[in-house]
Amino acid sequence: MPKVTLSVARFAPETDQTPRFEEYQVDVSAKASVLDALFALQRGATPDLAFRFSCRVGMCGSCAMVVNGREQLTCSTLVKDVGTHLRIEPLRNLPVVRDLAVELKPFFDSYNRTLPYFTPRPELDQNEFYRMPHSSKEWKALNHQPQCIDCGACYSSCTLVTLNKRYVGPMALNRALTLMVDPRDGRHEERLAIVSGESGAFRCHTLGSCRDVCPRGISPTHSIERLKRLSFFDGMRSIFSGFLSDKRK
């Protein structure tokens, strides 16, 4: 069985003022994941090590951590693909609760600011299905990227979130675009005002770190660019509509 060296961030709020790193060695199987290595460590030298996990198949997003400087889902990241020396830290840009577990409330507070829930247009018939053929532009606009699993990797990797806590973050803006291109949603204008504001899409510097770390292959960078275009063209339509109204008067 391969031996792996783990350098793990440890932090206990009742005794520590700042996080520290402790180094351990564990034996793992040839096909072990990083999460398996943490379990081996927890079963042995550090039974009090705190970290989150749930599904263990890369779908829930709860086991996201920073491994060797990069955000990863630890359950679907194999040790052999990363190396025999692993430096494991909690997600960045979020308060640490204990060891590798972070407080996710700021993350979801930012997410909720963009109204991430579907609100049907009032004129839609609630007793009928809204039909969108797969060949239609509506469907293609909606089906442009995989489904987000809310793991927080993009939020952790975003340097703008680090510098500006008011910025809503990549995941929130990606979700906002999904709803704004949905012809059934009734809060387009309200949501557009939010994502076009000082804490929205135009704050993005297009570095692409959110795209690089997403375990689902989503590009929030692409979604944010689409939001910028939507906001720009909406503003231009408003200007020309006002101009034409004035001319008619």
Residues ≥6 apart with Cβ < 8 Å to 171 = 107, 111, 148, 150, 152, 154, 155, 220
Boundary residue ending a domain (38, 72, 102): 102
Reported as a single tens digit per residue, the pLDDT across 200-228 is 999 999 999 999 999 999 999 999 999 99
Predicted pLDDT of residue 117: 92
pLDDT at 244 over 60: no
Predicted pLDDT of residue 2: 77
Boundary residue ending a domain (102, 128, 157): 102
User: Residue 247's pLDDT band (boundaries 50, 70, 90)?
Assistant: low
CATH of the domain at 178: 1.10.1060.10
pTM: 0.90
In terms of domains, do 83 and 10 share one?
yes
In terms of domains, do 115 and 234 share one?
yes
Reported as a single tens digit per residue, the pLDDT across 8-62 is 999 998 899 899 999 999 999 989 999 999 999 999 989 999 999 999 999 999 9
CATH of the domain at 56: 3.10.20.30
Long-range contacts of 2-5, Cβ-Cβ distance < 8 Å, separation of 24 or more: 2/27, 2/28, 2/29, 2/30, 2/32, 2/79, 2/80, 2/84, 3/27, 3/28, 3/84, 4/28, 4/32, 4/37, 4/79, 4/84, 4/85, 4/86, 5/84, 5/85, 5/86
pLDDT at 248 over 90: no
Number of structural domains found in the chain: 2
Reported as a single tens digit per residue, the pLDDT across 47-63 is 999 999 999 999 999 99
In terms of domains, do 178 and 238 share one?
yes
Q: What residues make up the domain containing 67? A: 3-102
In terms of domains, do 88 and 112 share one?
no
In terms of domains, do 112 and 98 share one?
no
